[in-house]
Each structure stands twice: as C-alpha cells, then as structure tokens.
Amino acid sequence: MNAKITIIVSIYNSAKTAASRLPPLQAGALLLELVLVSFRYGTTGPLMLRDLELAIRPGERLAFAGTTGRVKSTTSDLILGLLAPS
C-alpha cells in the first residue's frame, strides 16, 4: 500500500472508531441544510460557489472529491461555519 492510501485508511479507521463511541442519533433528530449558499473570497473576487443546495440527514455520509481548486475545502469550511456565505 502506498503512503497516501495508508494515511487515508488510517484516518478513516480512526474516525470510524471515534464515531462508534457516540450514542445513536434518533431518526429525524438533526438535519444540516444549505439553501442557496454562495461564496466568494473578498468583496470583488469571482463566485466560488453559487446557489449551493445541500441537505445531510442523520446517518448519511458525504465525501468531496476532485482535483485541486474545485472548492472542496471551501465547501467544508462553510459547512463547519469557518467561512461565512457571501
């Protein structure tokens, strides 16, 4: 196994172990929803995201994949509240 795959597998296994220690969620207890979210860096930069709509329900898994510069980190930071929508 190459080093990159080993690191990803290790991170996944750590997260899975940590998640197994959490109490189960009740159905319908939580919902993360983004509605018409747009984002740009600065006030004059180009829109990086435009009108994003996303709903994540309990038990669902979400993965962002893509090449460099495809706003994976930006989207994650918006979900986590590290960035504010424009």
Question: Hey, what are 34's tokens?
Answer: 């983004």
- pLDDT of 4 > 60? The answer is no
The CA distance from 58 to 78, in Å, is 19
pTM: 0.59
pLDDT digits (tens, 9 = 90+) for 57-83: 777 777 888 788 778 888 888 888 888
Strand partners, 47: 40
CB 55 within 8 A of CB 32: yes
